[in-house]
Amino acid sequence: MRRRNLGPWAVFGALSAVFLVMTLDRSALAAFLSALFPREGELLYPRASLVVLVGEHLSLAAISSLLAAAVGIGAGVLATRPGLETFASAAGRLAAVAQTVPPAAVLALAVPAVGFGFAPTVAALFLYSILPIFRNTMSGLAGVDGEVVDAARGLGMGRARILRTVELPLAAPVIVAGLRTAVVVNIGTATVGATIGAGGLGAPIVSGLVNQNPAYLTEGAVAVALLALAVDSLFAAVGKSLATAAPDRAEGSI
Amino acid sequence: MIRFEGVSRKFGEVLAVDGLDLEVFDRELCVLVGPSGSGKSTVLRMVNRLVEPSEGLVFVDGREVGSLKVETLRLGIGYVIQGVGLFPHLTVAANVAVVPELLGWPKGRIARRVGDMLELVGLDPGRYGRRFPFELSGGEAQRVGVARALASDPPILLMDEPFSAVDPVNRLRLQTEFLAIQRTLRKTVVFVTHDVDEAIRLADRVAVLKSGRLIQYDVPETLLERPNSPFIADFVGADRALKRLSRFTVRDWMQPTAGTTDAAIAVDLDASLRDALSTMLGSRARTIRVHDRDHRPAGEIGLQDIERAAECGTR
């Protein structure tokens, strides 16, 4: 009796459509910007097309988020295994410290170590986004009904199988909520990477600020905002369908 | 057969089970009963190694459980717990299929078995198979729990307060149904409860525990007639004669003379004589009608039938 709710998917579809038109149709974008800034001579950021910038931006956010997901989910699983309570509190504190350091500071510190560009930006975003994923994985797994796990053990399932077929599916809505927070924050924060030459949608924003060109700035800012909203709505839709699959557990974060 | 030899279990400084020697006989329903903190659940959980003994040995079919691979041991033992522990993200059918799937049965055999098991516990596979646990009542969930535990046809069944969370009316029905299932399947069952009435009603043999020690282990009739200590006498209560009546069903003692009594009061075929007596006293009738599950008349039962049962020692 699973009901399919298509609402969240429709929101995702609409946002991605707007975003794609903006990215792919340069003349439409130029028309939009000239309507906003009629006295501006140069409307489109000249050094790279939006397609390239979006590509750079997405790889920054995606690579850092994937790394953070691997580490955050892995640590969250370890932290909830019996006998590893000390690890849990240590990892929790470390992740909290990593999130307290502002990404701009990480960038400044990373440049002397690994140089300018892509790598230090990914490192900063990675560090910044471990905490929400780790914390949600932990609380999602801790929230799985102990009786259900007891029944699984009593029926003869091994530890790995219980994790894979019982605990992770039941914790999935909460874990996905953590991923959502991390990825959306990373998409926004990745703009900072432009200050150290990582490219991405931060580049037209920085250039617009430097050259006092509001059209460049708007191009970058609107694209980042739409990208973040589209990805956020994608996670909302995925989270919703997971919550329907495990109906007694509400979707949510901590 | 399950055997405990000098088994103790400590949790920190607390001795939960203290020097237990106990033998659960093949194909018998053994009820472990006692007040809370008596260690009865711990005893049960040591059979499938959810708890390991601090001292002593537990044997299943002559083999020490510690010598077996824990998953292998558990796959051969059905397990039902109080909160049911159904997997909330799986359908009823998938829940029942868990152990056969772990055992690697072919798909067709699993599907047939799931259908059979749901029918056994009185749930229509077509109606219930695709439901999720949150769509079930407490009694239905408990039935699915029993179906899941029996799915791979294990010789042993462990039941930890399986009917405690349902209301009294449904509990009585679940007990009756489970007794009927047990009469056909004849599993070796270890059943934990804190409810003496439930113990007396279901057990082939009752083990009464107190503070981790076994106080008396006997068939219910002996327990009621010859309690070995003031504790047991107190625990089974002053209404021992009534408790004995709860082991007899109306079906076995009624007069199958349908329709001869015009009494308005009726009792179910599967009700216990204790319930029948209570109904009589409540309605001031010396004879009442008996009907079956579908409220069709099946006969009548009188006070003299109950007296006859009370005088008769065994079932």
Distance from CA of B90 to the nearest CA of A (A): 8
Q: Are A182 and A148 in contact (CB under 8 A)?
A: no
DSSP H or E stretch at residue A217: helix A214-245
Give the closest of A147, A153, A249 to B83, CB-based: A147
Residue keyed to tokens 């601090």: B54
Residue-wise pLDDT tens digits, A198-240: 889 999 999 999 999 999 999 999 999 999 999 999 999 998 8
Residues on chain A touching B148 (C-beta within 8 angstroms): 155
Give the closest of A151, A153, A248 to B134, CB-based: A248
- Long-range residue pairs from A114-120, CB within 8 A, at least 24 positions apart, any chain: A116/A196, A116/A197, A116/A198, A117/A196, A117/A197, A117/A198, A118/A60, A118/A193, A118/A198, A118/A199, A120/A196, A120/A198
Q: Given this model, what pLDDT does residue A72 score?
A: 94
pLDDT mean over B157-161: 95
Q: Are B33 and B40 in contact (CB under 8 A)?
A: yes
Say if residue A162's pLDDT is above 50: yes
Contact at CB, B86 and A156, closer than 8 angstroms: no
Please, what is the average pLDDT of chain B?
90
**Whole-Å CA distances, A179 to A43, A94, A197, B99, B161:** 35, 18, 26, 33, 40
Give the closest of A153, A155, A246 to B88, CB-based: A246
Residue-wise pLDDT tens digits, A66-110: 999 999 999 999 999 988 878 888 888 887 887 787 777 877 887
Rounded Cα distance between B255 and B252, Å, is 9
Identify which has the larger pLDDT, B311 or A238.
A238
Q: Given this model, what pLDDT does residue B165 score?
A: 83
Contact at CB, B158 and A154, closer than 8 angstroms: yes
Give the closest of A148, A245, A248 to B85, CB-based: A148
Question: Left (φ > 0), alpha (ψ -120 to 50) or beta: where does B161 sit?
Answer: left
Residue-wise pLDDT tens digits, B163-175: 988 888 888 889 9
Q: How far is CA B165 from the centre of its chain?
A: 14
Say if residue B187's pLDDT is above 60: yes
pLDDT mean over B281-299: 84
Q: Given this model, what pLDDT does residue A202 score?
A: 93
Query: What is the secondary structure of A162-209 as a DSSP string?
Result: HIIIIIHHHHHHHHHHHHHHHHHHHHHHGGGGGGGT--STHHHHHHHH
Say if residue A3's pLDDT is above 60: no
Q: Given this model, what pLDDT does residue A253 score?
A: 34
Residue-wise pLDDT tens digits, B190-219: 999 999 989 999 999 999 999 999 999 999
Say if residue B315's pLDDT is above 60: no
Size of interface A-B (CB pairs under 8 A): 71
- Is B227 in a helix, a strand, or coil? coil
Q: Are A103 and A111 in contact (CB under 8 A)?
A: no
Contact at CB, A145 and B88, closer than 8 angstroms: yes
**Which residues lie closer than 8 Å to B63 by C-beta, 6 or more apart?**
none
Nearest-Cα residue of chain A relative to residue B131:
A1
Distance from CA of A145 to the nearest CA of B (A): 8
Say if residue B159's pLDDT is above 50: yes
Q: Given this model, what pLDDT does residue B241 score?
A: 78
Residue keyed to tokens 């002397």: A112
Q: Given this model, what pLDDT does residue B261 score?
A: 58
Identify which has the larger pLDDT, B188 or B295.
B188
